Structure 1
Amino acid sequence: MSHAINPHHDTDSAGTPWSGRTLTAQPFPGDDGTADEALTAALATGDLTAITRAWAPTRVLVPIVAVLGDDEAELVATQGDKSADMALVTLLGEDDARVLPVFTSVAALQTWNPQARPVPVEAARAAQAAVVEECPRIVIDPAGASVELPRPAVWAVAQGREWVPPASDPDLLAGIAALVTAVPQVRAHRCEPDGDAGLVVVLGLPPGLEREQVRETTSRIGELLLTDQVVTERTDSVRLAVRSV
């Protein structure tokens, strides 16, 4: 059984409203437009956890353009440029979900689109803008390293907390354990990774249950998981698997 997660909350799990978190430029004295060395090193490893950790405290460049750059981009009006015909670019992913492109350096942005204007912002503000604009993911340097941060990683950076994959997230695992063990038929459970940001929850059920009993149990647990805000924020998907104990 697979449960796709697509939350639409007015606040994050800490109760802080998403509204009002706007994408505004921040001063970066001495910034020469080059990439952060620690982030460059992390990008070279391909380790998504290390990349997210290195990206979170950095300055990023978001592209602002005067006209539509290509057929795959759509323009979202920015609050800071209402008097000018400028807009923030978002891309459409293969699943038709909007993706916010960000860049580590001026050179990386110009390689992608020489006409784009680089606007420096803190990574956390870019992540907050992605949440507000309903961009589930962020792609770093789409014309270069092209590393895509999954939605749970974007939300973590937006909230100012460190992101770890769901199967290693102690708060998430504790929350799932509390939900699952509250269902009497569950004798045991474990959580396994499912891609970069998904989970498989393996349920241990007593032998001899009728098919309808198994279905009712998994449906109940699925509902509990889908309505828990921490679960929906910190995972892209949750699948249930059943074994007898």
Structure 2
Amino acid sequence: MAGHQEQRRELPGHIAAALAGAGGPTDSAGQPWAGRSLDGDAAKIHNFEDDDGSADSGYLAAVAALLDGNGSEADVVSALATARVFVPVVATLAEEAAGVDGLHADKQADMALVTLKAPDGRTAMPVFTSADALERWHPEARPVAVYAARAALSAVSEGAQLLVLDPGSDYTFVVRRPAMWALAQQKDWTPSYLDDQLEAALASTVSGFRTVRRLETQPGAGVASLTADGRQVPGGGAGPELRVVLFLEDGLDAVAVQALVAQLNEAWARMDSFAEGVDSIEVKLQRAAQEPAQH
């Protein structure tokens, strides 16, 4: 995921709680922290017992199927629903504390979540399926282990629209806003381009426009993603994920078409199912006379 990094001072409650729990006198196995280094393997800040920091097997299987063309991005998101991931936090310097007699106290370190700025300006939260992947991406970041649903909740609270899995790795999977919200609410997710009810709702909005013969939804160009070596993958892209095809009567000029699309966009924006289920769209115009014959 391209773009610069941002750091926020305040942590969401569940991340703060995870850090507070990890900062007690003992770890989750009852072993004292005193005298232990926070370098290397000891830097793993989490309370998942017997966790070796490797990626969830269900997620790896779902991604492998997607890469082979036998799976779907919905399967990957479904696998994430029960997977443990790592959220990176980094140390930042707080304001210098007031001292005595004109002296200044040492600066104090805070912990901050890391967010990214996507190329289109949206805020994205990076999460990692393994501790090694996080360390390669940001060696100084500390991994906080949470279930992916908790990471999605954290992303929502940070105002992020995207959840980015393993940025900088051989394959990066982007969880778009509707899927991220579904994860946060622990609900099943259906991609907008496969949602028959959404297509029917969108189609109902064109019934009042004489010049629109029919509406159809398809996967958008932004559904696909790329591996580090340039191989295209049928899922995990940042969007637009929904293509709306409008079959129009002949004879419309550019001004009329522009006005039509603007009116439809306004109508779609008022639909709850559209607002909740669609991350971003592309509209394709086609002459009704060019429709393939129905058999």
TM-score (norm 1): 0.73
- The SS at the match of 1:200 is strand
Change (3 A) 1:169 1:84: farther
Counterpart pick for 2:55 among 25, 31, 35: 35
Q: Partner residue of 1:71?
A: none
Q: Partner residue of 1:243?
A: 287
Q: Partner residue of 1:161?
A: 187
Q: How big is the shift at 1:213?
A: 4.6
Q: Partner residue of 1:193?
A: 219
Q: Give the partner amino acid of 1:237.
A: S
| 1:75-90 superposed matches below 5 A | 85-90=110-115
Unaligned runs of 5+ in 1: 1-20, 69-82
CA RMSD of aligned residues (A): 2.8
C-alpha distance in 2, partners of 1:182/1:84? 60
2:203·2:214 contact (CA, 8 Å) conserved in 1? no
1:187·1:206 contact (CA, 8 Å) conserved in 2? yes
Q: Give the partner amino acid of 1:227.
A: R
Which of the two has higher C-alpha Rg? Answer: 2
Change (3 A) 1:189 1:139: same
C-alpha distance in 2, partners of 1:158/1:36? 18
1:49 aligns with 2:49: no
Q: Partner residue of 1:67?
A: 92
- The SS at the match of 1:33 is coil
2:149·2:186 contact (CA, 8 Å) conserved in 1? yes
| 1:132-171 superposed matches below 5 A | 132-144=157-169, 145-171=171-197
- The SS at the match of 1:63 is strand
Q: How big is the shift at 1:50?
A: 2.6
Q: Partner residue of 1:204?
A: 247
Counterpart pick for 2:273 among 218, 230, 234: 230
C-alpha distance in 2, partners of 1:223/1:146? 33
1:220 aligns with 2:220: no
Change (3 A) 1:193 1:64: same
1:130·1:138 contact (CA, 8 Å) conserved in 2? yes
1:112 aligns with 2:132: no
Per-residue displacement from partner, 1:174-204 (whole Å, max 9, x unpaired)?
Answer: 3212323354543322112212142222223
Q: Give the partner amino acid of 1:224.
A: A
2:58·2:83 contact (CA, 8 Å) conserved in 1? no
Q: Give the partner amino acid of 2:132.
A: A
Unaligned runs of 5+ in 2: 1-11, 19-45, 94-107, 224-238, 290-295
Q: How big is the shift at 1:209?
A: 5.0
Per-residue displacement from partner, 1:126-168 (whole Å, max 9, x unpaired)?
Answer: 1122122122211111232322222332222223222333211
Q: How big is the shift at 1:36?
A: 0.8
Percent identity, aligned pairs only, is: 39
Change (3 A) 1:65 1:192: same
1:96 aligns with 2:106: no
Counterpart pick for 1:173 among 182, 190, 199: 199
1:65·1:115 contact (CA, 8 Å) conserved in 2? yes
- The SS at the match of 2:76 is helix
Q: Bigger shift: 114-123 or 182-191?
A: 182-191
- The SS at the match of 1:160 is coil
C-alpha distance in 2, partners of 1:90/1:213? 42
Q: Bigger shift: 44-53 or 58-67?
A: 44-53
Q: How big is the shift at 1:37?
A: 0.6
Per-residue displacement from partner, 1:46-105 (whole Å, max 9, x unpaired)?
Answer: 35333222112211110111039xxxxxxxxxxxxxx96111111222333322111112
